[in-house]
Amino acid sequence: MKTSRVGIIGIGQSQFKARRDDANYPELVREAVARALQDAKRDLADMQAVVYALAPDALLGIGNAERLGVDAVGARNKRFMRINTGGATGLSTVAAGHAHIAAGACDIVLAAGGDKVGESGDSQTILNKIWDPTYERQLPLGTITMLAMSAVRAMHKYGLTEEDMARVTVKNRANGALNPNAHLRKKVTLEEVLASRYIAWPVKLLDCCPQSSGGCAMVLASERYIKDNRLEAVWITGIAHSSESYYIGDRMGNNFQADHADAHALREACERAYHMAGIKDPAKEVHVAELYAPFSNTEFHAVEAAGLAPLGKSMGMLREGEFHIGSRTAVNPSGGTLCTNAIAVSAMARVAEAGLQVWGRAGAHQQKGARVAVASGNGGDHQFFGAAVVEA
Amino acid sequence: MTAIAVVGTAIHAPRDPKRRSLEEAMYDVGQSALLDAGLTIEDIDGVVVGANDQLDGRAIAIMMASGPLGGVTRDILSTPSAGEHALVLGALRVATGQFRTQLVAAWSPLEVTSVAEALKLGTDPYFHRALPLDELSAHALQASALEHAVPGARQAAYGVVAKNRAHGVVAYPDRASAPRERQWIEGGRPIRWPLTDTMVAPPAYGLVALVLADAQFVQERKLGPSAWIHGMGWATEPGFLGDRSLASAPAMAAAARQAYEQAGVKDPASAFQLAEVADATPYQELLAYEGLGLCGRNEWAKAEQGERFAIGGALPVNPSGGALSFNPVYCTGLMRITEAANQVRGRAGNHQRKGVRRALAHAASGFAMQYNTVVVMGDERREVRP
């Protein structure tokens, strides 16, 4: 059955920084909501439902902290629910908002959230608690060590080098310098990345995303509402998820179920989203990819999972100048998660940036002529993957 | 929206929690719901779970659920705001046409040292964390406000406990809470004034799962008895208790309005053969009578004395015994919806009421019923009118 079209009519991102001492948690969310509403030329009273993005409660130190966000998003006595799929939460929240409209339950929905990762103390200590307390939590696992192991596997399997990883950082930091919403806006050189200290070999400090505080919001609406109110919109034409198994051990050693070098569930999510959007050859049809890649090495397997490069070939393509703004497909022209990571909304920012690109409103980091974009989100221990196709 | 049905359910209370891990219990409840539907996991397009990090002792509680509930390679999402929100999102996803089926699940383990302390983390750290404010004390503030606002509310509340416990001992004799006699209920020890230890049930280990399917799938697969969703509403109160009048429930009324409009319910007091409503405390059930349009607050005492809401009465409320009989804190809401669906499907077991053609389910979660969800289900296949 074909679902009815869902449009994005407003996008708002707060200022992302390491600390936002000027705004408490609900105020950060409200900042993004106010911008999205202004962009959509709507007010809170118009919203028929709110879907709220919040990843681990522990990052804020408040259980079910979405409850404190209810007034910030104007949801009192309205439809409201929170989504959490870890780092994929923001995209999953857009997917849930999409479902509200595609189901015919609502005509206009606010998707919003925020995070204060930069003020959480040490996010890696908290993120160690995502692992099973009996089997894997005792290991020194964090999201960095987990994905450093993916880099090691990619080195073995595809010949990934630390220089390849550094090239991703150099590209994304240059892009981030053009994006006023990005947290890290300073360009870096290949030498600087390679000279930065190791966090978990082979991942170095400048291969890592920052811990950001900020909010993101989007207003979604039905095609009927958009036409009746003569609003401008870009369209979510495909949106889907897939998931890997929980245990890291299932992706390693003999008889592994999935190869930790790759992102097979992200590939499934992208294929489902492309199928829904009617995209047959993403390498030719997609102009912009905003792919959730919190560590430089993970952008390679994300690019490959999104069908923009054959397995193991994306490193060579980047060396040859692909994936920059102005090339066939710009990857993370906003600077991506490598420049800004407020976990609860990072994947929503990917959809938001994809939307701005196909709308032609991305400013200095605009990919010229972009009409089709793909966005992705990764959550859990490289477990939950979401993908969305946004078209002009 | 298309027509959506509950086609399979399972409610699970592991007999020996220390020897049955949460992961194994999740597998059991998911498989049981699929078995009840006559389906296998291969028939499931997507999964939605309601999972609470604090009670599970995990930073992203959905992660572990992915395996035992068949999330691997599937589109799985989590609604940590409330277990019952998983049902709402699951139904919306089927209604989009993007999915034909959904497995919906929620659970509430006893793995934390103190459920009260885990839920206390839900207070804001600046203004309320220093107070002795956990979920139960918020419920107690609500009870206190109702006692102040409605003369006779306490006596009516005792009646609700006695009624639901009498139901519970029939429905699930192996796990129904005590005491069941009114004189013992009235003699309880205060735990969060005005609530006493006999007026609430202790936290329990429980899990619940449902299978949802669209009308075409139900027809094609010739599935057994179905509970069709006729209307669905959900709404929230603000987060700070100080911003609310705890003796009223405007979000519940808003959720009921949405569901009744969709279902075409004009007079809720006479529209249903049965209701399952939130009853973490008996005061919540009383508030639900009013918020759902079943009975005004000035009639609470009379209704309880006249046994209108008892299993033999005009509108049995919580024939399953409700959360006052069995209280897996985080998933009692989804259990209310499941119990109502089972009554419509004729599969409620010991407490099945004859001739249930349309049932009302109400679920609440959070401090003093912050989140409210209302679902109307019937045996007649019907498209939901948004």
Contact in structure between B271 and B259 (CB atoms under 8 Å): no
**Residue A118's pLDDT band (cuts 50, 70, 90):** confident
Q: How much is the pLDDT for B386?
A: 54
| H/E segment holding residue A7 | strand A6-13
CB-based burial of residue A201 (10 Å sphere; 0-12 exposed, 13-18 middle, 19+ buried)? exposed
Q: Rounded to a whole number, what is the distance in Å from the CA of A382 to chain B's nearest CA?
A: 10
**Residue A3's pLDDT band (cuts 50, 70, 90):** low
The conformational region for residue B208 under phi > 0 = left, psi -120 to 50 = alpha, else beta, is: beta
B-chain residues near A384 (CB < 8 A): 62-63, 66, 76
Given the DSSP bridges, would you call strands A49-53 and A108-116 parallel, antiparallel or unpaired?
parallel
| H/E segment holding residue A217 | strand A213-222
Q: Could you tell me which chain B residue has the CA closest to the CA of A265?
A: B73
Count of pairs with CB atoms under 8 A, one residue in A, one in B: 201
d(C-alpha B227, C-alpha B346), whole Å: 9
DSSP state, B29?
H
Q: What is the mean pLDDT of each run of 10 residues along chain B (386 residues)?
A: 92 87 95 98 98 91 93 96 98 96 96 90 90 95 98 96 97 95 96 97 97 97 96 96 96 98 97 98 98 96 88 96 97 98 97 97 98 98 76
DSSP state, A157?
H
Per residue in A275-305, pLDDT tens?
999 999 999 999 999 999 999 999 999 999 9
d(C-alpha A10, C-alpha A1), whole Å: 28
d(C-alpha B86, C-alpha B64), whole Å: 16
Half-sphere exposure at residue A237, Cβ-oriented, CA atoms within 13 angstroms: 21
Contact in structure between A80 and B234 (CB atoms under 8 Å): yes
Closest CB to B59: pick one of A126, A240, A383. Answer: A126
Residue type at B128 in one-letter notation: H
**Which of A4-8, A231-235, B98-102 shows the lowest per-residue confidence on average (mean pLDDT)?**
A4-8
φ and ψ at residue B131, rounded to 5 degrees: -80, 155
Residue type at A258 in one-letter notation: A
Q: Which of B52, B98, B77 is nearest to A92 (CA)?
A: B77
Average pLDDT over residues A157-173: 98
Q: Rounded to a whole number, what is the distance in Å from the CA of B38 to chain A's nearest CA?
A: 24
Q: How much is the pLDDT for A255?
A: 83
Instruction: State whether B79 and A81 contact (CB < 8 Å).
Output: yes
Instruction: State whether A78 and B371 contact (CB < 8 Å).
Output: no
CB-based burial of residue A125 (10 Å sphere; 0-12 exposed, 13-18 middle, 19+ buried)? exposed
Q: How much is the pLDDT for A226?
A: 98
CB-based burial of residue B173 (10 Å sphere; 0-12 exposed, 13-18 middle, 19+ buried)? exposed
Instruction: Record the pTM.
Output: 0.98
Instruction: State whether B1 and A76 contact (CB < 8 Å).
Output: no
A-chain residues near B92 (CB < 8 A): 96, 99-100, 103, 105
Q: Rounded to a whole number, what is the distance in Å from the CA of A387 to chain B's nearest CA?
A: 11
CB-based burial of residue B298 (10 Å sphere; 0-12 exposed, 13-18 middle, 19+ buried)? exposed
Q: How much is the pLDDT for B352?
A: 97
Instruction: State whether B88 and A56 contact (CB < 8 Å).
Output: no
Q: Which of B169, B154, B167, B241 is nearest to B199 (CA)?
A: B154
Contact in structure between A310 and A353 (CB atoms under 8 Å): no
Q: How much is the pLDDT for B384?
A: 76
- CA A355 vs CA A4, A129, A303, B161, B297: distances in Å: 18, 34, 18, 53, 50
Instruction: State whether A127 and B59 contact (CB < 8 Å).
Output: yes
Instruction: State whether B122 and A64 contact (CB < 8 Å).
Output: yes
Best residue in B2, B48, B77, B102 to probe A by mutation, most A CBs within 10 Å?
B77
d(C-alpha A115, C-alpha A32), whole Å: 11
Q: How much is the pLDDT for B17?
A: 79
d(C-alpha A80, C-alpha A83), whole Å: 10
The 3-state DSSP composition of chain A as helix, strand, coil percent (nearest 5) reads 40, 20, 40
Closest CB to B64: pick one of A75, A242, A246. Answer: A246
Q: How much is the pLDDT for B126?
A: 87
Average pLDDT over residues A184-192: 98
DSSP state, A180?
T
Q: Rounded to a whole number, what is the distance in Å from the CA of B61 to chain A's nearest CA?
A: 8
φ and ψ at residue A191, rounded to 5 degrees: -65, -40
Instruction: State whether B75 and A106 contact (CB < 8 Å).
Output: no
Instruction: State whether B60 and A82 contact (CB < 8 Å).
Output: no
Q: Which residue has the tokens 């992915």?
A: B66
To 5 degrees, how large is the angle CA A270–CA A211–CA A142? 70
A-chain residues near B59 (CB < 8 A): 56-58, 126-127, 129-130
Q: Rounded to a whole number, what is the distance in Å from the CA of B300 to chain A's nearest CA?
A: 25
Q: With an 8 Å Cβ cutoff, is B52 touching chain A? A: yes
Q: Rounded to a whole number, what is the distance in Å from the CA of B124 to chain A's nearest CA?
A: 7
To 5 degrees, how large is the angle CA A270–CA A278–CA A237? 70
Q: How much is the pLDDT for A1?
A: 43
Instruction: State whether B77 and A95 contact (CB < 8 Å).
Output: yes
Q: Which two tokens stand for residue A42?
A: 């709507």
Instruction: State whether A79 and B386 contact (CB < 8 Å).
Output: no
Mean pLDDT of chain A: 96
DSSP state, B335?
H
Instruction: State whether A81 and B85 contact (CB < 8 Å).
Output: yes
Q: Which two tokens stand for residue A195?
A: 């000279």
A-chain residues near B258 (CB < 8 A): 79
B-chain residues near A54 (CB < 8 A): 80
Closest CB to A56: pick one of B59, B71, B234. Answer: B59
Q: Rounded to a whole number, what is the distance in Å from the CA of B194 to chain A's nearest CA?
A: 25
Instruction: State whether B122 and A245 contact (CB < 8 Å).
Output: no
- pLDDT at A314 exceeding the cut of 50: yes
Contact in structure between B369 and B252 (CB atoms under 8 Å): yes
Closest CB to B79: pick one of A75, A83, A245. Answer: A83
Q: Which of A126, A8, A124 is nearest to A61 (CA)?
A: A126
Q: With an 8 Å Cβ cutoff, is B208 touching chain A? A: no
Q: With an 8 Å Cβ cutoff, is B122 touching chain A? A: yes
A-chain residues near B91 (CB < 8 A): 103
Q: With an 8 Å Cβ cutoff, is B242 touching chain A? A: no
φ and ψ at residue B270, rounded to 5 degrees: -120, 5
